[in-house]
Chain A
């Protein structure tokens, strides 16, 4: 039988992240701490400053966590390799962004990951309608939709299902959560377009 190692094995981290929300929160921090040395490596290898490397690393950790929860991580590589690949790509994106200055010149915004679900034709149509001013307005109005709405939307964005949110926030059932969530989005849209 396997013995216990100094650092958490992948199987333990995978189990912890897929457990209940409280346990998942603890394992998120364990995962973050276990490979936090990537931040220094990012500074050295990608020639970016500490804050940029930290931003890329924490973003990569969040992406990794969500992919694990949504069963997009197939386990063919170790979590370390998987996380490092995502982290490297985010560092490269940062370097490209600062070197070309493209986004300031054309007032376009970085492409959100969700856009990759769309085929090219639809992607092009949507992308030209996205701009920084609208996004800034959305960010501002997020603070005005109410604490409950914001909490619910953030939990959903964190990968919890409607059923899990119902358990955490004591809603009657998943259907109520879904309806409430969509109403919150509708509320936000009305505030943004006012």
Chain B
């Protein structure tokens, strides 16, 4: 079994560069070892063929299309082919709606969250925060560039203004500029002394919205942190953390 484990580790790419070179040289110089490698590869190839047959059977499962008058055949007419494609598209739509709505992606979760909770920001009653109110007003009117200018100018003059950071981040989210949103929410999360800080949770939302490779895992870790430290957004974090 040692030989198989050794060969398995090569093809699983768990060896370092030197170990790989030793393995490859052994394949060329040791006939009996080369036979073991040949067996391993042919076995994996046979398994793949078997797997493919299973997948083909599953993917080819009889569907509602087969019961329609225009059943796809090898010699179907041009018109029938397009009618079949239309019926297939309807089936794909039905399946898509079912799976999409019951199993939303992280990006969809993030988009829906922003749409539901931050389509509009609440206007403040504090007259001394005029720029902030103007920024909120512009945000609510979907004038995101104007809103961003106002929030960023507040940030420059008042670095401890958590609302300016948060709203700037949310504005970037509306513009789908996720990298910039992440910077804002990261700065927010590092602020001390706030009554409640939604920075970590909103960072997770931005990562889910950006959805680049690795973002899902990072978002999950942040949601776990929000949960464990009972930060703002814990309720939603508890719900999403299971889905990621």
Contact = CB atoms under 8 A, between A and B. Distances in A.
Max chain A Cβ within 10 angstroms of own Cβ: one of B5, B85, B105? B105
A8 B96 contact: yes
Nearest to A154: B51
Contacts of B92: 7, 30, 33-34
B45 A62 contact: no
A33 B114 CA distance: 32
Contacts of A12: 100, 105, 107-108
A23 interface: yes
B6 to A, nearest CB: 10
A40 B55 CA distance: 19
A126 B38 contact: yes
Interface stretch (A78-86, A129-137, A166-174): A129-137
Nearest to A189: B39
A99 B58 CA distance: 31
Interface string B206-237: 00000101001000000000000000000000
A173 to B, nearest CB: 17
Interface in A39-85: 40, 50, 54-55, 58-59, 61-62, 71, 75
A164 B50 CA distance: 20
Contacts of A142: 46-47, 50
Contacts of B174: 1
A153 B108 CA distance: 35
- Interface of B (DSSP majority class): helix
Interface stretch (B27-35, B145-153, B184-192, B197-205): B27-35
B115 A4 contact: no
Contacts of B4: 182, 185-186, 189
A83 to B, nearest CB: 14
A117 interface: yes
A126 B88 CA distance: 45
A62 B57 CA distance: 13
Interface string A1-31: 1101011100110011011000101111110
B127 interface: no
Contact of A182 (B8, B46, B216): B8
Interface in A131-168: 134-135, 138-139, 142, 153-154, 156-158
B28 A139 contact: no
B105 A58 contact: no
B1 A183 contact: yes
Contacts of B83: none
Given A15-B107, A118-B27, A126-B34, 6 more contacts: A12-B108, A26-B99, A59-B52, A126-B37, A139-B50, A157-B51
Interface of A: 1-2, 4, 6-8, 11-12, 15-16, 18-19, 23, 25-30, 32-34, 36-37, 40, 50, 54-55, 58-59, 61-62, 71, 75, 112, 114-115, 117-119, 121-122, 125-126, 129-130, 134-135, 138-139, 142, 153-154, 156-158, 182-183, 185-186, 188-189, 192
